[in-house]
Amino acid sequence: MTTTTTAAYEYRTGSELPLYALKRRKAQKQCGFRAKSTYGHCIKDKVLIDPPYNTGNDFIYNDDFKVSSEEYADESGEVDEEGNRMFKNTDSNGRFHSDWCSMIYSRLMLARNLLSEDGLIFISIDEHESHNLRKICDEVFGLENFISQIVWEKRYTRSNNAKRFTTLTEPVICYAKSLAKVTDIKEKRSEKADSIYSNPDNDPRGVWTSVSYVNPASKTQRPNLVYKIHNPVTGEDVEHPTNAWKYERATYEQHVKENRLYWGKNGENTYPRLKKFLSEMDGGMVPVDLWRHEDTGTTDQASKELESLLGRNIFDFPKPKELVMRILSLIINGDIGQDNIILDFFSGSATTAHAVMQLNAEDGGHRKFIMVQLPEETDEKSEAYKAGYKNICEIGKERIRRAAKKIHEDNPDATFDDGFRVLKLDDTNMKDVYYAAGDYTQDLVSMLESNVKPDRTDLDLLFGCLIEWGLPLSLPYTSETIDGCKVHTYNDGDLIACFDENVPESVIKTIAKRQPLRAVFRDFSFASSPEKINVGEIFKLLAPDTRVKVI
């Protein structure tokens, strides 16, 4: 199913959001990028988090549940009786770490709820909070579900501007939702890994490499693996002076029978090596926890690529798409994950979306992305602001557009879905009514004739209904005019909606004859109660299985 709308339109969603859609009013200011995805699904395979690093500067992720700065300062004795601060807000301040930890904790809880049972989460972080992050993850995911702390080589040149040490690496922490469900993790074989295979003896089984037959254990430690081995080229029987062999005699004899021992081109090797054929290397390679810059990119390369895409340097310290692509390429339980849903809670410049599209273009996959980003305003003095990007979300959206265009240019034969839909989370589409019966006046009653907020559009109402019914927000929809009324059809009839005023019976019958799963109208779509009742009768006759809702 291809997403048919583009980022040219932005829709509000209704207030009846599930908990995992960040129901708190402040959190509802977030802006998300979506491509063929839904909050209603578990995130199959991976969640990526590149949170704002705790540099000591203020950040905008101040959630409602945290103690205010004033309350904390008063309780902790940071101010005197006149309200003057007792010391500066340095990293010795007790709130320095707690603010950041409070922010990340709630999002990790959300991530865990969204993950499928065999899903993984990868979190890129620096050294300021990596130790605290591990403790939080141990609590949220469980210590037993820790997989690895990958060391990513983010740069490879020393910085003479550093006062002490130049930081060349950065940790990427990986947890599983349930390690018992993740039985195997592999990486795809690379050209570099395959380059070590050759066929010097023209073995009909194809190219191979070899590994030592000598065991690291001594003869005393493994006496059952001590025996003489016959060299068929020289005719000599050999035995290692100090170490045992890796295999028992029966296995050795099977290796001889299968011609798996290699003694060198002319039998010059003192001890044999065991052949490992490339054709037998199924399922990829076991990943390592040191990711070199040549395989995963650097922050400097990422900055240059983004500058090339957008025409100027407008975003600091983006992650390289190669790093994200390597994460997404991991093979989990034999599944290469070409249909996975990938979520990034801190989209930034939308590197993850770029990586998803690039991978789909390269291997024909149908991965889907969900990007979430607060619309953090750019500084008026910044290059981003001067280029017309008033907030970070605008940078991410433009990057997705330009990255998709470039990927098409670089891969003219590739077919991948480059569409995405932009949604802004907001409060309810319905008016808030908090008046006691005695407070109503005639003027107030007339203002409440419509229960929908005046600034809401048809599409705001449509997407609000999708959330209320738990339908995906990313599937295609069409809009058409029937007898002067605007009618919206979502996913070929999963839902048909008309929010116009005084909808004629001809439009009602046309919608009913299409027999949608759900039909939605506004209360003021009907001039009177009898007309509203008549709608129910029309659907009972023409579409008895359709669920009809009036908002």
Per-residue pLDDT tens for 92-107? 445 556 777 888 888 8
Task: Kindly state the average pLDDT of the residues 479-492.
Answer: 96
pLDDT at 474 (0 to 100) = 86
Averaged confidence pLDDT in the chain = 82
pLDDT tier, 191 (very low <50, low <70, confident <90, very high otherwise): confident
CB 348 within 8 A of CB 355: no
CB 71 within 8 A of CB 363: no
- Which residues face 124 on adjacent strands? 172
Query: Is 116's pLDDT higher than 80?
Result: yes
The share of the chain scoring above pLDDT 90, in percent, equals 53
534 or 73: which leads in pLDDT: 534
Task: Return the CA Rg of the chain.
Answer: 31
pLDDT at 65 (0 to 100) = 39
Q: Which residue has the tokens 């590149």?
A: 50
State the angle between helix axes of 130-141 and 95-114 in degrees (0 to 180), rounded to the nearest 10.
40
Q: What angle do CA 247, 253, 257 make, to 5 degrees?
A: 130
pLDDT at 397 (0 to 100) = 95
CA distance 343 to 347: 9
Q: How many residues does the chain have?
A: 551
State the angle between helix axes of 392-410 and 351-363 in degrees (0 to 180), rounded to the nearest 10.
20
CA atoms within 13 A on the CB side of 213: 27
**Domains of the chain: residue spans and CATH:** 10-69+93-187+285-425 (3.40.50.150), 191-280 (no CATH), 437-550 (no CATH)
Task: Kindly state the average pLDDT of the residues 512-518.
Answer: 96
Task: Kindly state the average pLDDT of the residues 351-373.
Answer: 93
Query: Is 194's pLDDT higher than 60?
Result: yes
pLDDT at 528 (0 to 100) = 83
Written as one string, the DSSP assignment of 445-497 is HHHTSS-B-TT--HHHHHHHHHHHHT--SSS-EEEEEETTEEEEEETTTTEEE
CA distance 481 to 510: 12
The structure's pTM equals: 0.77
CA distance 425 to 416: 27
Per-residue pLDDT tens digits for 11-39: 444 333 322 232 222 232 333 332 222 22
Token pair for 30: 């977030």
Any idea which of 37-41, 233-237, 453-457 has the lowest mean pLDDT?
Answer: 37-41
Per-residue pLDDT tens digits for 153-168: 999 988 888 788 888 9
Listed in sequence order, the residues at least 6 apart from 243 whose beta carbon sits closer than 8 Å to its beta carbon are 214, 215, 216, 217, 218, 219
pLDDT at 441 (0 to 100) = 60
pLDDT tier, 64 (very low <50, low <70, confident <90, very high otherwise): very low
Written as one string, the DSSP assignment of 142-188 is -GGGEEEEEEEE---S--TT-SS----EEEEEEEES-GGG---EEB-
CB 345 within 8 A of CB 111: yes
CA distance 500 to 524: 8
Closest residue by Cα to residue 498 from 549, 545, 533, 449: 549
CA distance 63 to 51: 15
pLDDT tier, 40 (very low <50, low <70, confident <90, very high otherwise): very low
Task: Kindly state the average pLDDT of the residues 201-205.
Answer: 92
The share of the chain scoring above pLDDT 70, in percent, equals 79
Helix then strand then coil, in percent of the chain rounded to 5, is 30, 20, 45
pLDDT at 53 (0 to 100) = 56
Per-residue pLDDT tens digits for 239-288: 999 999 999 999 999 999 999 999 998 888 999 999 999 988 776 889 99
